[in-house]
Structure formats: structure tokens, C-alpha cells
Amino acid sequence: MRKRKQVKSSSSIKNFFKSNYSKSWRYIKESKNYIWLATGIFFFALIIGLFYQPPSVVNLILDYIKQILSKTEGMGLLEIIPFIFYGNTLRFCIGYIPGIINIC
């Protein structure tokens, strides 16, 4: 005889979400010291970045922004969308593919 598949009741689904929600909060509470440490490191690096800006890095960023603005000057919405999509896809491949190769 074949067994019938049991249909999960809405109460078991609610219990599933309630249980996992409480487990998630418990994990966050257990990890709060690490979360505070990561937040502190982030803000420390942010403050350093705001006050220490080497002129060479600032000039590189400004030159890059000027280059992007010159490429997109006069473009309409239907031209900018593929431009952004292509740029994001290219950067995704540059960052993602080496990661896959590293895993293999």
C-alpha cells in the first residue's frame, strides 16, 4: 500500500517559523560581542577614511568619476540602463569568477 503524503497544518508551519525565529534571536544574542566588535571596527575605519585621505587616492577617484560622467553625458534613460547593467555585470565577473576558480 502506498502512504499518503501528509499535508502540513497551518499550526505546524506557524510553529516552524516561531521556533526558527526564536533560534535566530538566541543566536544573535549569543553573538552580540562579535557584532559590536565588527561595528566598532567599521566605524573606526570610517573615521580614519574621513580624516585621512591621501591626495593620490582622492585624485584617482575624481578622475574615475570624471571619466564616467564623460561617457554618460547626453545619454537618456534607455541608454544608461544597459550601460549600468554592462558595468555591473563586468565587475561581477571580475570579482566572482576568480572566487569560483579558487574553490575548484
pLDDT in tens, 41-87: 999 999 998 898 889 989 999 999 999 999 999 999 999 999 999 99
The percentage of residues in the chain with a pLDDT greater than 70, rounded to a whole number, is 88
**Residue ranges making up the domain that contains 34:** 10-52
Average pLDDT over residues 1-23: 72
Helix axes 10-30, 32-51, angle to 10 degrees: 60
The verdict on residue 91 lying in a domain is yes
Measured from the Cβ of residue 83, the count of other Cβ atoms closer than 10 Å reads 13
The verdict on residue 4 lying in a domain is no
Measured from the Cβ of residue 2, the count of other Cβ atoms closer than 10 Å reads 4
Q: Assign 6 a pLDDT band (cuts: 50, 70, 90).
A: low
Number of domains in the chain: 2
Same-domain status, 43 and 65: no
